[in-house]
Amino acid sequence: MDDQETAIEARGLSKDFGSRAVLRRIDLDVPAGQSVGLTGANGAGKTTLLRCLASAVRPTAGEVRWFGRPVTSGPAMRRMIGMVAHESRLYPHLTLRENLIFAARMCGVREPARRADQLLERIALSSRAENRPTQISKGMRQRVAVARALVHDPRILLLDEPFAGLDAQGAEWLMEMLLDLRDGGRTLCFASHDEAKTHCLADRVFELQSGRLYQRETGFHAGSPNAPARAQAA
């Protein structure tokens, strides 16, 4: 990894909710341009880990760095990250185009309307631009959620259960989109219960058990299924 920049670095990451320890001293390295999948049972802490990596949740202990810099709430740092939650969380009273324009403005994107139109074309929803989220399918809403996360062209994309609830066509589209992003050098970190899709998309797969992170084997590389991670996805 000496010649490859580290996009996400977590050291001693722990998170407690009251007396419950959800994450226990997790170390994780994700080199730039790599894709990492997170698996584990419901309640294992996958969402909490992603939210800590995204700086949306403050850890109880430990730290997260993006490209070697401590995570802050400053605008320049925030533009490094795009996050797709389990639910699309689009504003229901806005059209799809307005949702993207609003996100672009919040991220300080130049020509937000033009950027929104570019993304709608990329996700093949230009013809539905004036629809509201309630007027389209879950799969289409997920497309818009991904577009919103990409509106400021972040270097890192975090996704929580991106394939959940999608029909076959929607899942196929999303897989192709994420593979294109990965192959284009974007750093991906995602949580999923879908074993087949996880192994297709991830360069490394890790499993959360009892708050600790373990490296698993993938179809791309040999892993250490039971070795506690100071996890490296290179």
DSSP 31-91: ETT-EEEEE--TTSSHHHHHHHHTTSS--SEEEEEETTEE--SSHHHHTTEEEE-SS----
Q: What is the pLDDT of residue 131?
A: 98
Spatial separation of the C-alpha atoms in residues 96 and 105, rounded to whole Å: 14
For Cα atoms 126, 154, 111, give the angle at the middle one, nearest 5 degrees. Answer: 50
Q: Does residue 232 carry a pLDDT above 80?
A: no
How many domains in the chain?
Answer: 1
Structural domain includes residue 160:
yes
SS3 20: strand
Structural domain includes residue 112:
yes
Q: What is the pLDDT of residue 77?
A: 80
Structural domain includes residue 70:
yes
Q: Which two tokens stand for residue 204?
A: 């490394």
pLDDT band at 225 (very low <50, low <70, confident <90, very high): very low
The average confidence (pLDDT) of the chain is 88
CATH number for 144: 3.40.50.300
Query: For 100-141, how does the pLDDT look when each residue is reduced to its tens digit (9 = 90+)?
Result: 999 999 999 999 999 999 999 999 999 999 999 999 998 899
Structural domain includes residue 1:
no
Q: What is the pLDDT of residue 218?
A: 58
C-alpha neighbours within 13 Å on the C-beta side of residue 98: 10
Q: What is the pLDDT of residue 26?
A: 96
Structural domain includes residue 204:
yes
Q: What is the pLDDT of residue 183?
A: 92
Decide if 13 contacts 52 (C-beta within 8 A): yes
Query: For 133-188, how does the pLDDT look when each residue is reduced to its tens digit (9 = 90+)?
Result: 999 998 899 999 999 999 999 999 999 999 988 888 888 989 999 999 999 999 99
Q: Which two tokens stand for residue 138?
A: 């879950």
Domain that holds residue 15: 6-232
Tell me what percent of the residues of the chain surpass a pLDDT of 90.
Answer: 73
Threshold 0.75, pTM exceeds: yes
Structural domain includes residue 206:
yes
Q: What is the pLDDT of residue 166?
A: 85
Structural domain includes residue 179:
yes
